[in-house]
Every structure is written in C-alpha cells, then in structure tokens.
Amino acid sequence: MERVDKTVNKAVNQAVSDLGGYIRAQRSNAQISLRELAKSAGVSNPYLSQIERGLRKPSAEILQQIAKALRISAEALYVQAGILEQREGGPVVDAILADPDLDERQKQVLLDIYASFRREHDGLADGPDQHRTDSSDEE
C-alpha cells in the first residue's frame, strides 16, 4: 500500500510541476511579470512563484483567476491541473473559448461550425468518393 501511495504522490507532484511550468510559459508568452500576474490574479507574489515552481497546487478558483489574468481558457488550466479531462478539439477550441471579445453564444456557434467541419473531414478520410459531388454533373 505504501508503494501505491508513493506512486500516486509522485504523479500528483509531477502534475503540479507541469502546471507551474505551463503557467510560467503562458506568463512569459504574454510578456507579463510575475508581480503583474500576481496582482491581476489577486494572489501574492510568493504564492504565485510557489505555484510556478510546482510547490503549491492552487484551487480551481485560483486557477480561474490566473487564467483570467493571462487571458487564456480556465479549462486549459484545469486540464493541466488534472481537474478536467482533455476535450477533443485541442488548441482551436481553447482559442475560441479563451477569446474575451466573443460572447457565449458566439463561442458556441463557432464551436458548432468547427465540430461540423471536423466531422466532414473525418468523413472524407473514410472515403472521399462518397462525399464529393462532381461539378461537371451540375452543368
């Protein structure tokens, strides 16, 4: 039983470390200092630093505040933290969900369109002759 506990602890520590690295990378990409992000997210500088170094595992609420301050999808941070399973769609879905200029209805419409394109593409991969129309037939 002790061996299982050590394995679980190791996996949790790795996930927390990966989350911290992900947050640090997002902060670096956004060209935001640790101090600026901490202030925007409403957490202390030392606490954010500990999160980035993998020493602390933040709550879902803190992750949401950090995501908002970074202007990224909270869902992406939840996936990194192991709170949520990765959704299909990857970075396109994340970008749509993270866009602050879109309202929820607009996001849902874009996600529906994207999903339909993905289904169509998957159908073409199964057999292109079944889904194509010959434009010469229409003339």
**How many helices (H) and strands (E) in the chain?**
8, 0
Q: Please write down the HEC assignment for all residues of 46-77.
A: HHHHHHHCCCCCCCHHHHHHHHHHHCCCHHHH
Nearest to 97 by CA among 66, 79, 74: 74
pTM over 0.75: no
**Distance from C-alpha of 102 to C-alpha of 128, rounded to nearest angstrom:** 34
Give 86-103 pLDDT, tens digit per residue: 666 678 887 888 888 888
Residue 132 in this model has a pLDDT that exceeds 50: no
